[in-house]
Amino acid sequence: MTTRDLAIAITIAVALLVLLAMLFAWRRRLRRDSALSAPLGVPEHAEVVDRHEVLYVSTTRHDQPLERVALSPLAYRARGEAAVTDRGLALCLDGSPTVFIASPRLVGVDRATVTIDRVVEPGGLVRVAWNADDTTVVDSYLRIADGDPTTFISELQRLVPAADDRGATS
């Protein structure tokens, strides 16, 4: 075996170890977050107020944009559509059931620049903070693909309950 062959074998072995470590870390994260899941299904007679094509980027711990939460079915990036209804936010993402974040679950809506796997121009992401359960607030990040998100954000902000009705906090 030549030194070149040895170097190739070592490189392959290191790459395999890194891939295995990534796989085990992701599986551990899936187990850690298995108790959390996004609410599914849009209520009957929900009236669509605003609709946009989006890139769903990630869901993270509240105010921790680099700490991903493997929240089913929002564990992976996807393209799709976000619809603001009179009752909440519907996320219709490719390959996933429709996630519906009802108005009482909403904690806040604003703009963001950074989240895990994505850095964009200042204010290029929409951050939706919401209650995943009674004690866990998460932030979901969307990138509006078809224009300015100003109307989308203002329509969602109207649905956020008053500060004393929000439930869980971070």
Per-residue pLDDT tens digits for 84-120: 999 999 999 998 899 999 999 999 999 998 888 777 7
The tens digit of pLDDT for each residue in 59-80 reads: 998 988 888 888 888 888 899 9
The string of pLDDT tens digits covering residues 10-49 is 999 999 999 999 999 888 888 887 778 788 888 888 889 8
65 and 114 Cβ atoms separated by less than 8 Å? yes
Fold of 48-165: PH-domain like (2.30.29)
Band of pLDDT at residue 163, cut at 50, 70 and 90: low
CA distance 62 to 168: 11
Give the predicted TM-score (pTM) of the model. Answer: 0.81
pLDDT of residue 166: 45
Compare 112 and 162 and report the one with higher pLDDT. Answer: 112
Provide φ and ψ at 96, rounded to 5°.
-135, 155
Strand pairing report for 88-93 and 106-112: unpaired
pLDDT of residue 168: 47
